[in-house]
Every structure is written in C-alpha cells, then in structure tokens.
Amino acid sequence: MDEQGLAQFTSLSESVSTESVKARLKEMIAIPSENPMAGEPRPGHREKELGEYYLEQMNQLGMAISSRDAAPGRPNVFGVRHGDSERPSLMLCGHLDTVPTEGYVDPYSPHEQSGRIYGRGSCDMKAGLACYLEVVRLLQEADVSLKGTLILCGVADEEWQMIGSREIGRNGPIADQCIIGEPSDLAVCPAHKGQHGLFIRTFGKAVHSSIPEQGENAIERMALVINALSDYNEELASREPHPLCGHGRYSPGVIRGGDLVSAVPDFCELEIDRRLLPGDRAEDVRQDIKRRLEPLKVDDPGFRYEISDPSWDIPANDLPVSSPVVRSLLTSAQVLTDIPAQACAFPGSTDAPHLGSPAVVCGPGSLAQAHSLNEYVEIEQLTRATRMYLHTVLDLLT
C-alpha cells in the first residue's frame, strides 16, 4: 500500500463505528440459525431467516445481491460491490449457521458486559459477518472506487457437512483471494489440517454368553484393533511436519458393539478421526490402517475387518504465506498493533478448501469460546477485525 492508500486507510479507519458493528451483531445473534445437523431444516434450525437478514443489509449498502439454495431453506447469500473491472476480486466469507444450543441459557438474547458481547454465534461466526458489513458501509459512505470486485458471502452448513461451501466450489463465485472470518483471535491462518473420519468394523459369532468359548467376540477383536493403532500418533510424529500445521493426528472417537449383555457380540465398529496435513491422501490413511491390522490375522485366522467409506472428508487448507491476501493481513495486523505478525495454522477445519478460492482464516473471537455454553466475542476485536479487513480491501482492490 502506497502513501496515498495508507492515508485513505487511516481516514476510513477512524470512521469505523463500533456501535454499528455491535448493533448488527446483536441483531444476528437474535435470529436463530442453528444447524439441524442430521435433522430436518425448520424455522430456527436452518439458515433461511439469517440469510434474508444478511441480504437486506447488503442491499441497503448498495450491493448487488443474490441467493442460491444449497438445500431447501438453506441458502448461500451473496453481495457484490463492483469496481472498474471484475479482477482482481476479493471475497469476505463466513457461515450463517451455528451449532445447537442444548443446555445454553438464553442463547438468542444478546447482551453486552465487561467489553464483550454474549450469545450463540457471537464469535462463531456472526462477528465476522458483522465486520464485513461495516467495511462495505465505510466504502459506500466514502464513495470509494474499487479497481476490482468485492464479494460478501454468507454460507450454509459449515457446522455439519459443509454443503454450502461445496456448492459454491461447484457453481461460484470464485475469487482471486478470500478471507474467512472464523474466530482465530485475529491470527492470520493460511493453513489448517483436514479431517478424515471412517469406521473400522470387526466381526464375530454370536452365542449365549454362558458359553462364550463357542462364539467369537467382535468387541474383543476390536480391542486388538485399538491396541494395534495405539502408537499411530508416534508414527505420525516421526514424519516430516508441515511448516505451519506440524504433524498429523489420530484419535479413536466413537465405539459401538453388542446388543445384549447375555450374548457374545458378533459386530463392533469404531469411528476414528484422522487429522490430515496438506498433501496427505485418504488412501494413505487406509493403507496405514491395513498395514497395522493385517498381522492380526496371523494369531486369529478368523479375524476379519472392514474399513468404511469416509464419514468425514474435509481437505486440508494450504495457502502460501506469500499470497497477497496473507501478506496484506499480516501487514494490517502490524500497522494496528505495532507488533510484527506471523502466519500460523488454524486449529480446526473450515469451509476454505471447498470454496475454490485461495482462502485464509482470520477473524474476531476465540476458538475456545466457539461451541461453548457462554459464547462471547471481545468488542475490541470487532473493531480491530473491521480495520484489518478494510486495510486488505483497500490494499488489494484500490
């Protein structure tokens, strides 16, 4: 950013209205948009109502708006501020859904206390969505002319199967650069691990539990599986690490087996979670498992297992630190804090790898608060996030 651009940023940055950001965030928190997960979408348990709100807000800001359903009642919504040409383009993206609220007292009654705004979705991630709107407000009121295209995008279903971002990856819009405002405490995160889940199933022979020697116990065979995988993390830690993501991880998560305590179980299944590094392949995970389980047949000729198709299949994200959007966010962080910023990995998985646009995660709020029963976002981070996004928009599009 040249001196003229920096002067423009400084002027607009001073015009950020924290009150405006707070007001929009509170309005969005009050609109239930719980992900129905495996259930049927219905009012309060879908993105439709929040999507309509966001479309109206973008429309009032002079953006060209559109909506496209990823599933019935579950829209992806878009707003475009056109510049002198289509390219370069920058997308500010975030998901409309939240996790469920079971056990959460008054999740949709936003309140402000001790420099924080509380409520479901406050940090994950309606805060980022509110900051995006403030950026567009500043551009509109100052009548800033863009040389490229700014796109705001509200996405369905990030918290479950990511059908929204997958739909965008298929049908667009595709941007040259993208920011996803997931709660990163405003750390700039161009990479994150992928998530690969699958079921391992073992089999046996059911008999009455009073004569177990005449049966074959599928749960005991699963115990052999768990033991065979017990040092898998040690193997992963011995492999070449990713410069930001470190090492891959394995975790056994869910186990089911047997129907009656008085019967030897003939079936057991274990769902595992494998966090993938950029460059890891799903087929390599399957081969790792097979290599560890095949020797179990030597001591137990009746041992038989299956490995399912993926139950979770979210790729890793890996945007070079040298990418313009990453460099611009790092610069903005340093401009605003006078502290040099370093890129890091985001701990969770996001929509980023499905969108089709090179994407970096950077947003207000802490991941420790996301999904909690007392979710909040720091108001100071709302203001700083807005300024970081504004800096990047001006840097890349003016």
Q: pLDDT tens for residues 178-232?
A: 999 999 999 999 999 999 999 999 999 999 999 999 999 999 999 999 999 999 9
Residues 74 and 221 in one domain: no
Residues 53 and 86 in one domain: yes
pLDDT digits 0-9 by tens, 62-103? 999 999 999 999 999 999 999 999 999 999 999 999 999 999
| Residue whose C-alpha is closest to residue 89's, from 170, 173, 199, 180 | 173
pLDDT at 392 over 90: yes
| Total domains in the fold of the chain | 2
pTM for the model stands at 0.92
DSSP H or E segment with residue 317? strand 317-318
Question: CA geometry: angle at 151 spanning 149 and 153, to 5°?
Answer: 170
Answer with the one of 293, 314, 335 that is the final residue of a domain.
Answer: 314
What is the DSSP secondary-structure string of 242-308? Answer: BTTTB--EEEEEEEEE-S-TTB--SEEEEEEEEEEPTT--HHHHHHHHHHHHTTHHHH-TT--EEEP
Residues 298 and 205 in one domain: yes
Residues 188 and 203 in one domain: no
- Which range marks the domain in which residue 67 is found? 3-192+316-397
Residue 331: per-residue pLDDT: 96
Answer with the one of 288, 314, 340 that is the final residue of a domain.
Answer: 314
Answer with the one of 281, 314, 347 that is the final residue of a domain.
Answer: 314
Residues 176 and 213 in one domain: no
Residues 103 and 226 in one domain: no
Residues 359 and 233 in one domain: no
pLDDT digits 0-9 by tens, 109-133? 999 999 999 999 999 999 999 999 9
